[in-house]
Structure 1
Amino acid sequence: MSTHPKKVGFLTFGHWQGGRGSHTPTATEALTQTIELAVEAEKAGLDGAFLRVHHFAKHLSAPFPLLAAMAARTQHIELGTAVIDMRYENPLGMAEEAAITDLISGGRLQLGLSRGSPEQAYKGYEAFGYIPQDGQSVADYAKDKTELFRAAIQGKGMVSADAGGRPSQAMLPVQPQSATLQNRIWWGAGTRSTAVWAGEQGMHLMSSTLMTEDTGVPFGELQAEQIALFREAWHKAGWVGEPRVSVSRSILPITSDFDRYLFGGHADTDQVGILDGARSRFGRSYVGEPDVIAQELQKDPAVQSADTLLLTVPNQLGVEYNARMLQTIATHIAPSIGWRPASESTEMVENA
């Protein structure tokens, strides 16, 4: 079990599309409402506002301008990604943008990275100019980029200084640097083996509502096994302290007839299917009366094991609806898993 205090935040894809009932018909609404929802989440005492990054789709893409804008409008809430597909990234340019965003936020950035999930575009990262070497898997390609990015944010020299048109022995790091950002890097793992790798590398773990493997056990049990393997690998590698672990869940409390109309028919059981050629297990949605959901979450072994729960929000329903939903979860559901509002958690730590 985690020794970190429980944290709860929201996770948004920032989807936009016109149509009946959509409050985000354009990218402008999706972006500005993401900022506003971060403000409302902080007012509700939640701990985090996280972005899911996709490319070639009507979802949030380049995260750092948006995260910087969210930082300018908030004071305490963690701001992060869950996750950035490293296949699409320039590690040194990303290191500069991440450091700038972290400095603007006062050290609140939590960066989730990964090898990426199936995208709408066929090898879209190649259109960005990033092509793996012959024989190199996309997973290894993403890991190599991640290693370079982490070296850059640790202040290691990346290029020789210019000595009158010749390289000198002095090596220059990227600038600016944010000294503690290196301690807030997470890896999005969809399997037990990648979670073990993340632990060996000394990164925190992000595990979502999808695992690209299936052993026949309920999703929460499979994910809890993944978390245990991750922590074991972290400690075996000799890293200091306790790693953080986040899981994401779709939690849709029904408190009105409108809620029931929207979500009453949502699946509340795991789903198993084939994704990217692998048999995969999708976690259930938690739909129902708040007290019933609270009881069910207490039986979810992965939620109990993790220190951070990310709530995937139906962002197209708008800020007002989602803010009210987050407040309901904060008031009637989250305390059942040991969460306390950010202000109360701070007071408990100070009085300990």
Structure 2
Amino acid sequence: MKKIGFLSFGHWRDVPGSQTRSAADSLLQTIELAEAAEELGVDGAFVRVHHFERQLASPFPLLAAIGARTRRIEIGTGVIDMRYENPLYMAEEAAAADLISGGRLQLGISRGSPETALRGAETFGYVADDAAEMARSKAEAFLAAIDGAPVARTDPGRTGGVSGHLAVQPQSPGLRDRIWWGAGSRATGQWAAKLGVHLQSSTLLTEDTGVPFDQLQAEQIRLFKAAWAEHGHERTPRVSVSRSVLPITEAIDELYFGAQGHDDQVGLLEGVRSRFGRTYVGEPDRIAAELAADEAVREADYVLFTVPNQLGVEYNARILGTIAAHVAPAIGWKPRNS
């Protein structure tokens, strides 16, 4: 059965109309929105990670806090930029957050998206000739660490001459099976399948073949699933897609979003011709019909709905409630209230 969640970028600005004037507002309201989403029966609370921006940047304290304040909803990222991470320290943090939540972590990792910082990862101390290759290498080291692989040796001087191997601690059983790779192309989706991690596909693909976005994304998903089968993984692969959905049910919604709906967009991103998915704006029933016809949504197991977090918890909880009641059932979702 299909699952749904929200995806928050955690924007904060001290500007008129913003309900998140500070980083504290953004962090605390994300926790509150996760609690509200859980009450609505929504399956997941996911956060985007950006560095050097007035957005959410350090996910693990936030995820642990959400895990401690909720009891059922899955918590995750979409995505963590591995270029900035120490994979062993990240393995410790991820395991701790997963244990606090009782095994509800769904961790999305990736090479990351274009950013305003010039060689931002270098300022964190990570230098590489090939950023994508560095991210993949770190991802593999992270996966090995959470899988309990030895990464250090004991000091014979402190162990009575005994030599042995050490894994990072703590370990959280099952976490390895709940890691996702944010793939921006068909080829990286196939690489994720080879690695044995689930697929996160967003509203941006760093390639364009001339077909509508949902068809290109659906092709990526099918190639991922075929590659998964080819590599013989015993687990069932999972796929998430994200969609920008803004249902209009009140006059204030029309004021905020009435002019924001648009079709697919094609443009250059870091010199690569890329295709961006559309924004769904309008009456809930019309959006429901459009999403039901979305080829990639039909292929996906998890649909993440981006939220305009600066409008506050109450507003976004209402949007999620409308999606849960009038949109998500059309794509095969049912609430899982406990």
Please classify the TM superposition score into its range, dividing by the shorter chain length. over 0.9
Mapped to 1, the partners of 2:308 and 2:34 lie a distance apart of: 14
Within 5 Å, which residues of 2 pair with 1:126-205?
Answer: 126-132=122-128, 136-164=129-157, 169-205=163-199
Helix, strand or coil: the match of 1:31?
helix
Helix, strand or coil: the match of 1:97?
helix
| Counterpart for residue 78 of structure 2 | 82
Mapped to 1, the partners of 2:170 and 2:333 lie a distance apart of: 35
Mapped to 2, the partners of 1:170 and 1:342 lie a distance apart of: 46
Mapped to 1, the partners of 2:50 and 2:317 lie a distance apart of: 23
| Preserved contact between residue 180 and residue 199 of structure 2 (Cα < 8 Å) | yes
| Preserved contact between residue 160 and residue 168 of structure 1 (Cα < 8 Å) | no
Is it true that 1:41 corresponds to 2:37 in the alignment?
A: yes
**1:29 paired residue among 25, 30, 35:** 25
**1:255 paired residue among 249, 252, 255:** 249
316-325 or 265-274, which deviates more: 265-274
Helix, strand or coil: the match of 2:237?
coil
| Preserved contact between residue 11 and residue 310 of structure 2 (Cα < 8 Å) | yes
Is it true that 1:235 corresponds to 2:226 in the alignment?
A: no
Deviation of 1:241 after TM superposition, in Å, equals: 2.9
Q: Which residue identity is paired with 2:293?
A: K
For residues 43-82 of structure 1, give each alpha carbon's deviation from its aligned partner in whole angstroms, at most 9, with x where no partner exists: 0000000010000000000100000100111000000000
Alignment RMSD: 1.2
Mapped to 1, the partners of 2:294 and 2:262 lie a distance apart of: 13
Mapped to 2, the partners of 1:116 and 1:291 lie a distance apart of: 34
Deviation of 1:277 after TM superposition, in Å, equals: 1.1
| Counterpart for residue 64 of structure 1 | 60
For residues 27-58 of structure 1, give each alpha carbon's deviation from its aligned partner in whole angstroms, at most 9, with x where no partner exists: 01000000000000000000000010000000
Q: Which 4+ runs in 1 deviate beyond 3 A?
A: 165-169
TM-score by length of 1: 0.94
Where structure 1 has 5 or more consecutive residues not aligned to the other structure, the ranges are 347-352
For residues 91-120 of structure 1, give each alpha carbon's deviation from its aligned partner in whole angstroms, at most 9, with x where no partner exists: 000000000000000000000000111111
| Counterpart for residue 97 of structure 1 | 93
Deviation of 1:165 after TM superposition, in Å, equals: 6.9
Mapped to 1, the partners of 2:232 and 2:126 lie a distance apart of: 34
For residues 241-298 of structure 1, give each alpha carbon's deviation from its aligned partner in whole angstroms, at most 9, with x where no partner exists: 3201000000000001110111110132001111111011100001000000000011
Deviation of 1:169 after TM superposition, in Å, equals: 4.2
Helix, strand or coil: the match of 2:78?
strand
Q: How many equivalent residue pairs?
A: 337
**1:213 paired residue among 189, 207, 212:** 207
TM-score by length of 2: 0.98
| Counterpart for residue 349 of structure 1 | none
Mapped to 1, the partners of 2:334 and 2:13 lie a distance apart of: 35
Where structure 2 has 5 or more consecutive residues not aligned to the other structure, the ranges are none
| Preserved contact between residue 204 and residue 245 of structure 1 (Cα < 8 Å) | yes
Q: Which residue identity is paired with 1:148?
A: A
Q: Which residue identity is paired with 2:152?
A: V
